[in-house]
Structure 1
Amino acid sequence: MPDSWWRRVRAYLTPPPISEASWRDAVAACPLARRLDRARQDELRQLAAVFLARKRFHALAGAELTPSLQLLIAMQACLPLLRHGPHALRGWREILVYPGEFKVRRSHHDDHSGVVTESDDVLIGEAWERGPLVLSLADVQLDLEQPWDGFNVVVHEIAHKLDMLDGASDGVPPLPPQIPRRQWIVAFQRAFDHLSNDVARGRDTLIDPYAAESADEFFAVVSELHWSQPGVLRRADAAVAALLTAYYGPSPAPG
């Protein structure tokens, strides 16, 4: 067999470590990682090495994707995996990176009329079931510069990937034994219904109104809050905040 095949296999099973200099620079550039304790930083470093070995980055539309930016994306992608390990990376391989917002053509089929309509959505991130992770590099960089503003596009899309590990994205990822599935469903459904009701009535909400789009978007949006504004999430819904702490581990963000 070709030697390149063996190199890929070895990299998958025992990924090359991230150099000390590269890791030091990446931690300095990523406030979330910088606030982790040493043990979790070491776990993150190992997970990021696995991520870089198993995933393939593709820079599109002129995006300038340096190795250091790839590492910073890998770090943020692996933060939600700290309690779940490399097995949670299964099922997909590609990361597509645009310089900024990108358009996606959608088709909608009306079951009653049979009419198909098309429209363009402008996005900063997307996760396909068993397909690529798609990111806006400008928004990745903005999240690094403003880590405590309630948003993180990489965390959002990785939450979708976690959600998809057991099939369609429905806001209920595979749960560890210590989190009862029924407790999760009841708490998240109640919080989602409450938010949807407030959004429908035009009320101000602590959680981004986009979370009312669907149960899976709710899970992804509150995951962003867990990692960037956990205090806001606790005020919005203490039960959801507690479940996400049990699922992800404690947030390193300021409370």
Structure 2
Amino acid sequence: MDYKTVMVSLALDQPNDACLAVAGDIAERFEARIVGIAASDLRAPLYFAEGEYAQKLLDQEAEAIRKRLSELEAEFRSSVQKRVKSVEWRSAQALPSNYVVQQARAADVLVVGAREEAVVDLSVAADPNDLLMRAGRPLIVVPSTVQWLDLRSVLVAWKDVKEARRAIFDALPILAVAKEVAIAEIPEEGAYRADALSHVEDVAAWLLRHGIVASTVVPEATAEVTGQLDWIAANVGAGMVIAGAYGHSRLREWILGGVTRHLTTESSRCSFLSH
């Protein structure tokens, strides 16, 4: 199984170099088609604006959006046109997250830049957390400091739940080309380490039947999970962490678990996430 179509979501309000580099690496490695996508929507006029003046403001903003989307298309094509054979651009005046979620039907995997801020301006950029829960496709979240897709070592952050099983299955093409793969489970408080060892050994055996050799890591002592995960990732030299994305909806807002939130906003390495 390979990725045939990679979709990269560009933001209007921050640099896109990192996610374009990683998306290009994936598309080139798997000889995949690449689709660039971006959207932005009008903000409501200022409360004191009305009538013709309000319409003028909206028209000016719509023109600015068209110009910025055109600039992003040129940036996208310049970045990838020499790396892959099939290139497509999609854009619209629309809420970015909603537009990307709709268009995700055309992709095998989505690439998006990480967002460090607590609140994302939903009119100019897709929220990675929202995409995770709604797109129905695996998401590769790329920190702004990343310059290329480093697959010399990949870490699978295992938890014996359906989201992790989905993530490792979706990531099989990545795992197949990685030079080294490690599977880590961090036992929860009150859990037996022997159970965690059994879980990761099963997963390693399953990967081996797909031709992928993986080592296993289970810490002796239970500690803060995100800190342990970062320590293990650094210890194995991981350029990417593969994990299930956990969360639930409350009043139409996705509330993510601590590890998922850390991987989408604070990690220094790429994260491959499925829900």
Query: What's the TM-score bracket when you normalise by the shorter of the two chains?
Result: under 0.3
Highest Rg: 1 or 2?
A: 2
Higher strand fraction (1 or 2): 2
- TM-score between both structures, scaled by the size of structure 2: 0.26
Higher helix fraction (1 or 2): 1
- TM-score between both structures, scaled by the size of structure 1: 0.28
Higher relative contact order (CA 8 A, sep 6+): 2
